[in-house]
Amino acid sequence: MKKVSISLIVISQMLLGLTVSTTVSAAAKPITGVNCNGGFFVRTPDKHIHWIDEETEEHVQVYDKSDDIYAMAQCGTGVVTVFEKQIDGEQQYNAIYSPNCMNIGSEKGLSSHIYQGKEKINKIDAKDGKLEIRFVNNTYLRGETCASVSAGK
């Protein structure tokens, strides 16, 4: 009888260990280095992005598509998010500015489109509310405000 009960304990601990490992690997991952409007962003395993208010811990889904985030930077009270996806075998980049940290992947609400194209962005510099985006070919998009930068679609 003792062998059976010990075996059941070992088996139950092994199953618990597997359950804990699965839960940890499926947890949301914070997007480091970007605080926005009193909160921060986390990415879920399904590539959705949520903004979490640090004070109230309220979660708001701000992105529900599957494109990969290429870059994200604070800009004024909001955030510039660049997404990368492959279209017809070529990399495409799409940049959106959200002044309130919501709708970071589309022109909904207050969010505006900054850039869409094949040219790779290699630096986003946002200081004192001004925005400068440098591309790999050393061309720039600049604006006196984060919302004023636009390269069209």
Task: Report the range of poorest mean pLDDT among 3-17, 24-38, 123-137.
Answer: 3-17
24-28, 30-34, 123-127 — which one is most confidently predicted on average?
123-127
pLDDT in the model for residue 129: 75
Using alpha carbons, select from 120, 122, 71, 126 the residue that is nearest to residue 92. Answer: 120
- Would you say residue 120 has pLDDT above 80? yes
pLDDT in the model for residue 148: 86
- Would you say residue 127 has pLDDT above 50? yes
**52-67 confidence digits (pLDDT tens):** 999 999 999 999 987 8
- Would you say residue 125 has pLDDT above 80? yes
pLDDT in the model for residue 83: 92
Instruction: Over range 69-86, report the average pLDDT.
Output: 90
C-alpha span between 132 and 139 (Å, rounded):
10
Q: In the structure encoding, which two tokens stand for residue 18, read together?
A: 């597997």
pLDDT in the model for residue 151: 62
The pair phi, psi for residue 12, each rounded to 5°, is: -65, -35
- Are 103 and 78 spatial neighbours (Cβ–Cβ below 8 Å)? no
DSSP 8-state assignment for residue 152: -
